[in-house]
Structure 1
C-alpha cells in the first residue's frame, strides 16, 4: 500500500508523517556531561551542573537533571563486580616537564601508643620529586588545600593533579581551589590503584625506608623523621632517578 492510501485509511495527515523534528538534541552538551561524570565518579547531577556552569554552558539544573537521567549517569550505590567493567581505561599522556602533573595520596601509620595517624604525600610526576609529606591526626579537605597553597607558593601551580576518589579529594574545598587556580583534578577509577601507580610506588618506598625503620612517640617526632627523610639534599627525596 502506498503512503497516500495508508494515511487516508488511518485518517493521519501526510505532513505529520513526514515531519522532521528541528529540536536541538544538544549533542555537544551530552558528550561533555558524560565526560565529567566519567572523570568524577562520585558526583551527582547538582555538582556536575556546577562544573558545566563554570565552563561555557549556560544551562539550568532541570535540563542537566533530564539529560543526566536520559544518559543513565545515575550513581550506582552498590560496587560493581570485578568481572564488570565500569569504564574503559583511557591512557593519559606522560608528563613532559617538571611541575606539569602532580600525584597525591594518603597513607596511615601508628604511634607507639597504638594511636593511628594519617600522612598526605605529594609527588611530581616528571621529576619523581617528593613535594610534601604531612602527618596529622585528622587531615580534611581544608588541610589538603593548605598544604597545596604552601607548595604552590614556592613552585607555582601544576596543570593537573592525579588523585583517587577519597573524601578529602572530592571535597568542595579542593574543588574550589582547583577551579580558581585552573588546576585539573584527574580522578582515578574507584578500586584501581594502578591508575595512580607513581604515587603508590613512592608510598611503598617511603614506608620501607622511613615508617618501618622508626618508632614514633608523637606526631611531632614523626614529622621530624619524615622531614629528614624527604630532605631535598637526601637521595631518598627522589625515587626512580
Structure 2
C-alpha cells in the first residue's frame, strides 16, 4: 500500500500511519486463527526453593559469517542460575539428556533427587519430547513438565533469559563464527551467574541467592 501511494500519488507515509488509516476505514483484513493453547497456563513459574523446578530452552545465535549456533541451557526457577548449557550447530534429544545429566551432577553430585522433589519445565520441541530423554528423566526421579502448545509465556523465565543473555553478553562480543562464539559462552555464563543482580532475587546475583538458599 505504501509503495502504491508513493508511486501513483507521490504521497509518503509511514507504515503506522497507513495501518491506522486502514483500521479507521475498516479496510484491514480480519485474521481467523484456528490454532491456540491446548490448555491455559494459569500458574507461576518461579518457586521458593532451589532444586525443585528447573527450566530449559534452546535459542539461536546468528554469527557474523551467516551461520547459526544453537544454545541449550538449563536454569533453576528459584535462584535463576544457569546450571548447565550445551551449544552446537544442531541440538538433539541426546544433547538435552547430557544437559540434564550435567546439571544433576552440578547440584546433586553422584546422587539423584528424591522422587517428587524436582520438575523439569520445557516446551514441546522435538528435542524435549524424545522417548529416550523422557525415560532418563523418569530414572532420575525428575517430573517431566511440558508447557501448553503455542504458549511461550508458560516458559517465560527462559524466554526472559534469552533476551537478557543476548542483550548483555552475546551482542556485546565478537560473533565471527560458531567456534569463536562457543569459546566465549562459559565466560558469559560465569559472569551472569556471579555478577548479574536480579530484582526478583532482592538484587542478589544467582550465585549469591543460591548460597543464601543453601545456608537457610
Tell me, yes or no, if structure 1 residue 155 matches structure 2 residue 84: no
SS of 1:228's equivalent in the other structure is: helix
SS of 2:185's equivalent in the other structure is: helix
SS of 1:99's equivalent in the other structure is: coil
> 1:230, 1:236 within 8 Å by CA — same for their partners in 2?
no
SS of 1:230's equivalent in the other structure is: helix
Q: Offset of 1:239 from its aligned partner?
A: 7.5
Unaligned runs of 5+ in 2: 1-32, 202-216
**Residue of structure 1 equivalent to 2:84:** 132
Residues paired across the two proteins, number: 161
Given candidates 173, 176, 186, the residue that maps to 1:227 is 186
Q: Relative to structure 1, is the Cα distance of residues 85 and 145 closer, same or farther in structure 2, using a 3 angstrom cutoff?
A: closer
Matches within 5 A, 1:12-27: none
Matches within 5 A, 1:38-117: 81=34, 86-91=38-43, 94-117=46-69
Q: Offset of 1:106 from its aligned partner?
A: 0.5
Structure showing greater Rg:
1
Q: Offset of 1:103 from its aligned partner?
A: 0.6
Q: Offset of 1:234 from its aligned partner?
A: 3.1
Q: Offset of 1:215 from its aligned partner?
A: 2.9
**Residue of structure 2 equivalent to 1:118:** 70
> 1:106, 1:120 within 8 Å by CA — same for their partners in 2?
yes
Matches within 5 A, 1:200-219: 200-219=159-178
**Residue of structure 2 equivalent to 1:55:** none
Given candidates 136, 140, 146, the residue that maps to 1:181 is 140
2 CA distance for matches of 1:236 and 1:171? Answer: 33
Scaled by the length of structure 1, the TM-score of the pair is 0.60
SS of 1:186's equivalent in the other structure is: strand
Q: Offset of 1:135 from its aligned partner?
A: 1.6
Q: Offset of 1:121 from its aligned partner?
A: 1.6
Q: CA RMSD in A?
A: 2.3
1 CA distance for matches of 2:156 and 2:57? Answer: 11
2 CA distance for matches of 1:85 and 1:171? Answer: 21
Scaled by the length of structure 2, the TM-score of the pair is 0.67
1 CA distance for matches of 2:138 and 2:94? Answer: 15
SS of 1:234's equivalent in the other structure is: helix
